[in-house]
Chains A and B, each alone.
Chain A
Amino acid sequence: MTDHNHSDTLIPDEGLAPASTALPTADVLEELATPPRSQWRDVWDQFKTHKGAMLGAVLFIFIVAAVYLGPFLWTIDPTQIDIRSRNQGPSFAHPFGTDQLGRDIMARMMSGGQTSVSVGITAMLLALFLGSFIGVVAGFFRRLDGPLMRLTDLFLALPLLPLLLVMMLLFREPLSAAFGLERGIFILIVCAIGITSWMPTARIVRGDVLAIKEREFVLAARSIGTSNSQIITRHILPNVLSPIMVSATLGIATAIITESALSFLGLGFPPDFPTWGRLLFDGVDYLQQYPERVFWPGLAISLTVLSVNYLGDGLRDALDPRIRGR
C-alpha cells in the first residue's frame, strides 16, 4: 500500500525516473496522457465482481430507501389507532395487515426501521470513532500501547449483554428525564452499544498502524519535519481506512442486532415507539393467531444484517490489494 494522498506534491514518482532519462516513446507518452486509475476505481471494479456483495449493497440501499423515503409514499400515521379495523390480514388498504389496536403494520415497519437503522449507523460511527482513535494512538505512541491494549483486553473480558442490560436499567430514567423519553433512550442505546463494541476495531487498527509506522514514507514525512498529528491524519489514517471501513459495515450489523435484542428483552425503546425489535417482541404475544406479525420485523432485521454482512465481505475483498485484480 502506498501513500495515495500525496500524488499532488512535488516528490518525483519512481515510475517517472527512467522516462526522464531516455527519450519518451510514443506509448509512454500515451500512458502519461491518460489519467492514472484512482484507487477507488480499482476498488469499485473489484467490488463489482463479488455478486453477493453487489446484491447486499443493492438490498441495503433498498431497505434504507424504503425506510426513509417510504413514509412519503405511504402516508398512514404509524401511531394512528383504528380499533374497528384491528387484527386485519393483508389487504390493499393495509398490505402487511393491522395490529391489535388497528395500527397499520407497514407504516409501523417503516418508522421502526428508521429507528433501527439510525441506531445501527450512529452506534457504529461512535464505536468506529472510539476504536480507530484508541487503535491509532496505541499503535503510534509506543508509551501508550501497553495501557491502552490492557484496557481493550479488559473491555473484551466484560460480559457485554448483561452489562448492556444493566446499563439500560440504570440510566434509562435519568437520561429520559434530561433529553425527553425517546431521545434519551436513543442516546442511551447508541452510547451503550458504542462503548461496548469498539474493541475489535481498535485491535485491528493498532496492528495495521504498527506495520505502517515503520514504512519509508512515514520516515520521509518525519524527516521533512511533519508533526505527529499531521503524520497521523495525512499518512497513517488514509492507509488504515480499509480495515476501518470493513469493521464499519460489520458494526452496523451487530448494532442493529443488539438494539433489537434489547428491545426484544423489553429493555429498549418504550412500547409506543416502534423499532423492529419491539415490533417482534409485541408480535410474540399473538404468535398463535397471527404469526406474520413476528415474521415481517424478523425478516427485516435478518435481511438488513445479511445484506450488510455480504457488503462487508465484498468490501474486505475489494480493499485488499493482494486479492484485487485476481
Chain B
Amino acid sequence: MLNFTIRRLILAVPTLLFISLVIFLLLELAPGDPMAQVPLTVPPEVKEKMREALGLGQPMHIRFWKWIVQFFWIEPQVLIDAMFGTTFSEGDLRVISWQTRSPVMDIVVQRIPQTLWVVGTAYVVAILIALPIGIYSAYRQYSWFDQMGTFVSMIGFSVPPFFSGVLVIVIFSVQLGWFPSIYDTTLVVNSWDSFVLQLKQMIMPVMVLALQITAQLSRFMRASMLDNLNQDYVRTARAKGLSEYVVVMVHVLRNSMIPVVTVIALGIPAIFGGAIITEQVFKVNGIGQLLIGAIQANDLPMVQTLTFIFAVLIVLFNLIADVLYGILDPRIRYD
C-alpha cells in the first residue's frame, strides 16, 4: 500500500510541474501591462526600474524558476513562521499582488474560510441527500421515486448555477423576502440572532450548489448500487436468510460505496471551480470572486497563484481518490 501511494505521489510531481508551466506560459502571453496605470509624466528609465522591481526584466525561464521557488519554498516557510513564530522566511521576496502590493497568499488566506464555509456545507448537505436517494432509487428501480429522481437530477444537470441562483433570489429574496440576497461576510456569529442570520444567508448559496452536486452523486450512487444488486453474493446473502435491511445496507452498500467515495473526493476541487459562479451570484467574497476580480484588474500574480491553487487541489484530490480506491478495493492495489 505504501509502495502504491509513493508511486502515485511521484507521478503527481511532473503533472504539477506541467500545469504550472502551462499556466505560466499562458500568462506570459498576456498583453496587459502592470505599468499601464502609471502616469505618463513618469520618465521611461524610472518605469524600467519599476518594471524590474516587479521582477519583469528577466528572461522567461528565470522568472518561471523564481515563481516556482516562491510558491513551493518561500510560501511554506511563511506558513511555518505564522504557525510557530519562527523567522525562516525573513527577507525573502514573496509573490506580490499588482492590485494591492501585498503578498498574494495573505489575501488568499483571508478569502478561503468564506469559500470553505459555503462550499463545504453545500457538499456535506449534498452528500447527505444524494446517498439515500441513490440507494432507494436503485433498490426500487423504475418506480415512481426512481423516475422522479432521474427527472430531478436531469434538472440539476441542466439548470446552470447562474440561473438557479438568480431564480432562488427572485423567489426567496425578492418575492418572499425570507433570505438576504447578498452574503455578508463581515457577520460575526456570537449570539443566537447572528447565528440565525448566518444560517439564513447561507441557505440559498448552499441550496444552489447542493442541487448540482446531488444530481451527479445520486446518479452515480444509483448506478453503482444497480451494478452490485444483481451480483451473486447478494443472492447468497439473501439465501442465507439475512434480512433485507442487512443485505442492502451492509453487503451491497459497502461495495457500492467504493466508486462513490472516490467520486466524492474527485468532485471537491471541481466544486471550488464551479463555486466561482455561485460566489459571483451571491456576492460571497471567497476565492472564486477573488479570481474574477483579479482577472478584471489584470493582476497576473494573483491569477497565476489562484489558478495554480485550483490545479494543486485537483491533483491532490486525484491522488487522494487513487489512494482511497487502493485502500477500499484490494484488487486495485496489486495491479
A residues with CB within 8 A of B: 153-154, 157-163, 165-167, 169-171, 173-174, 253, 257, 260-261, 264-267, 277, 280-281, 283-284, 287-288, 291, 294-295, 298-299, 301-303, 305-306, 309-310
Contact = CB atoms under 8 A, between A and B. Distances in A.
Contacts of A171: 29
Interface in B299-335: 303, 306-307, 310-311, 313-315, 318
Contacts of B175: 291
The 10 A-B pairs with the shortest beta carbon distances in the complex, nearest first, are: A159-B310, A298-B163, A306-B158, A305-B158, A291-B170, A264-B162, A162-B307, A161-B273, A302-B159, A257-B160
Interface of B: 15, 18-19, 22-23, 26-27, 29-32, 154-155, 157-160, 162-163, 166-167, 169-170, 174-175, 269, 273-274, 276-277, 280, 291-292, 295-296, 298, 303, 306-307, 310-311, 313-315, 318
Contacts of B29: 170-171
A161 B276 contact: yes
Contact of A154 (B18, B169, B274, B310): B18
A288 B170 CA distance: 7
17 contacts: A157-B315, A159-B313, A161-B274, A162-B273, A162-B276, A162-B303, A162-B306, A166-B27, A167-B26, A170-B26, A173-B31, A253-B157, A287-B174, A298-B166, A301-B160, A302-B155, A305-B157
A302 B160 contact: yes
A257 to B, nearest CB: 5
Contact of B30 (A157, A169, A267): A169
Given A157-B315, A294-B166, 8 more contacts: A166-B303, A253-B158, A264-B162, A267-B295, A281-B162, A283-B166, A294-B163, A298-B160
Nearest to A256: B160
A158 B23 CA distance: 9
A297 to B, nearest CB: 8
Contacts, number: 127
B167 A154 contact: no
Given A169-B30, A170-B30, A288 B292 contact: no
Contacts of B273: 159-162
Contacts of A288: 174
Contact of A157 (B160, B296, B314): B314
Contacts of B166: 280, 283-284, 287, 294, 298
The SS class assigned to the A binding surface is: helix
B162 A261 contact: yes
Contact of B318 (A157, A159, A163, A165): A157
Given A162-B273, A170-B27, A265 B169 contact: no
Nearest to A170: B30
Contacts of B291: 162, 165
Contacts of A267: 295
A34 B330 CA distance: 55
Contacts of B276: 161-162, 165, 265
B19 A157 contact: yes
A304 to B, nearest CB: 8
Nearest to A276: B163
Contacts of B169: 287
B307 A159 contact: yes
Contacts of A160: 273
A43 to B, nearest CB: 22
B162 A157 contact: no
A298 B167 contact: yes
